[in-house]
Structure 1
Amino acid sequence: MAESEVKLTIGEDKVTTVDVTKGAAVDLKARDPEHLHDHVRVQFHDIFGEPDETVFSFDFVWTWAFKLFTNTKLWCYRITSLICGLPLAIYWGIHFALLSFCAIWCCEPYLKAYAIELHCVRRVFQTMLNAFYRPCFEAMGYIFYNIRVQVTKQ
Structure 2
Amino acid sequence: MADLDLVNRDPNNINDHIKVAFEDVLGEPDGAHTIDCVWINSYKCFNCWKSLCYTISTLLCGICIAAEWGCEFASIAFYHVWVITPCFKVLELNCGICQKLYGLCIHCCLDPFFEACGLCFAAFKK
Structures share fold, TM-score greater than 0.5 = yes
Q: Deviations over 1:117-137 (max 9, x none)?
A: 12111123344566749x6xx
Aligned-partner Cα distance in 1 for 2:86–2:5: 37
Aligned to 2:76: 99
Instruction: Please state if 1:120 is matched with 2:97.
Output: yes
Q: Which protein has the bigger strand share?
A: 1
Aligned to 2:67: 90
Counterpart residue type for residue 27 of structure 2: G
Aligned-partner Cα distance in 2 for 1:56–1:38: 30
Name the TM-score, length of structure 1 as normaliser.
0.67
Counterpart residue type for residue 117 of structure 1: N
Aligned-partner Cα distance in 1 for 2:14–2:103: 45
The higher relative CO (CA closer than 8 Å, separation ≥ 6) is in: 2
Aligned to 2:124: none
Instruction: Please state if 1:78 is matched with 2:44.
Output: no
Aligned-partner Cα distance in 1 for 2:98–2:57: 56
Q: 2:11 aligns with which of 18, 33, 54?
A: 33
Aligned-partner Cα distance in 1 for 2:103–2:46: 66
Aligned-partner Cα distance in 1 for 2:60–2:82: 34
Q: 1:42 aligns with which of 6, 12, 20?
A: 20
Q: Could you tell me the percent identity over the aligned residues?
A: 32
Aligned to 1:60: 37
SS in 2 for 1:50: coil
Per-residue deviation, 1:115: 1.0
Name the TM-score, length of structure 2 as normaliser.
0.81
SS in 1 for 2:8: coil
Aligned-partner Cα distance in 2 for 1:70–1:127: 72
How many residue pairs align between the two structures?
Answer: 113
